[in-house]
Chain A
């Protein structure tokens, strides 16, 4: 009994430290993945509640940070799974915006030259903001597919399975999302 009390006490102290240390990082990650401050806050809070509940099963095999992020990633996937109850729609109209009936680029959608400083672009905050805006402008489920690719180190098949999307469907979505993103970035950044 004493041992149990002792353990719990330790647990709470550790947890309080973890809240201080990791809330920022977890929140940033959740915010980036869900594009919603409110959702991100909820997910981080739930993460710590789960952590408190399961604290005794944390054996220190991984760092607290890794452990907390694993819990958060589960929460994020859960959040998305609830959202994709309906099959992800792929409008055939999108493709005909970009390619003609032979599969060649439509003239006005054909990629143009971007300036040579392409690699510096990634250090440019303004450019990152444009990219973020273009991501946000995608249909929600496309946005989700693009972002989930980076959620875990696990492969895409695994993500498809978790979300209940067929892999072919997933690649079609990513392809369409990328076409739209590229076009959006070109219009917003290079033509302005």
Chain B
């Protein structure tokens, strides 16, 4: 492969990533599937002439995955890529650590508190089952910024969220929990 071809391939890849950055998450439309960390790899398969987009599920039962795969495919087709293949990858398992800073800011603007801490290494979770060893994180209210908030439910309207309420502005809000 000549140097020029390599550069072109890199540019093409960057272009596909940019297009994918405009594909919204179907359930939280202010954040793109790239900012959410769902898109893991973009590659051109020279043998089949296909663009292969590798995605990973957030939660194994997330009903949005099929919609995301379809949205990614149709977005790339709309930009003129006719041969697109969506591959799924399970490992390493998706983590909120992969969410971009831009994505977190967009979540906050949308009224959803973004994940507040880095996820601990699950391979050594012996202490994870000790309920008192777990410090519930301090989650700032996305509406008024107060740190005076309380978890009302560990599960929210989608698998990725928990329910909180602010003790100052009194508003309830969703928290995109660390995973």
- The answer to whether A and B assemble together is no
